[in-house]
Amino acid sequence: MAGAVLATALVGLIGCGGADPGGDGIEPGTFIAFDTSFRGFRDWEAFPAASDDGIADSPHLTGRRTVYLNKRPPSGSTSFPVGTIIVKEILNDDPAQNDIVARVKRGGTYNARATGWEWFELRPSAAGSDVIWWRGVGPPAGETYLGNVEGGCNACHRGGDDVSILLPALHLSNF
């Protein structure tokens, strides 16, 4: 009986592939991040962020900030490649105030207002790894992430990649 219910559910899910001819729900040319995508981010190339890094009125200014990049874009790039992951870790004297925020270049038609970036907040799990707390174009309703900037993450991080990457060290012209 349980096997029949599971098989029926799977057939129903497979049938919900929508316009994706592959039926896997993933738009061609996109990257979908999972918890494992962020594993070991503290070993990636690190860019310490100074308090005077030119980001006016940023909600990310408290604490010691380090930005991690999973892979550099090719020299001369005009945009970050799909699959680029940028993680910002904000450490405070009170560990309860620490934050880990991230963006992933998902690509395709996802979040065209911010050139294909998906936003994340990560939190430590009981197992010691960092896991996705939320993801999307901004925090979910009821989440108090950095004061819930009106318009979500796109309010500040919109436009072309160099415009939406607020940390000068990560501007494409530096690679």
**Are residues 4 and 49 both part of a single domain?**
no
Tokens of 31: 């990257």
**Are residues 62 and 135 both part of a single domain?**
yes
**Are residues 5 and 81 both part of a single domain?**
no
**Are residues 9 and 71 both part of a single domain?**
no
**Are residues 44 and 4 both part of a single domain?**
no
Give the pLDDT confidence score for residue 103 in this predicted structure.
Answer: 93
Q: Which burial class, exposed, middle or buried, applies to 32 when counting CB atoms under 10 A from its CB (0-12, 13-18, 19+)?
A: middle
**Are residues 86 and 142 both part of a single domain?**
yes
Residue with tokens 């892979």: 71
**Are residues 169 and 85 both part of a single domain?**
yes
pLDDT by residue, tens only, the chain of 175 residues: 444 443 433 333 333 333 333 445 567 789 999 999 999 999 999 998 876 555 555 556 667 889 999 999 999 999 999 999 999 998 888 888 788 999 999 999 998 888 899 999 999 888 888 999 999 987 887 776 555 556 677 777 777 766 677 788 898 999 9
Measure the CA–CA gap between 119 and 88, rounded to whole angstroms.
11
Give the pLDDT confidence score for residue 115 in this predicted structure.
Answer: 87
- The total of structural domains in the chain comes to 2
Give the pLDDT confidence score for residue 49 in this predicted structure.
Answer: 83
Where would I find the beta strands (DSSP E) of 22-159? 45-49, 64-69, 85-91, 99-105, 117-124, 130-136
Q: Please tell me the pTM assigned to this model.
A: 0.78
**Are residues 18 and 95 both part of a single domain?**
no
Structural domain that includes position 17: 1-27
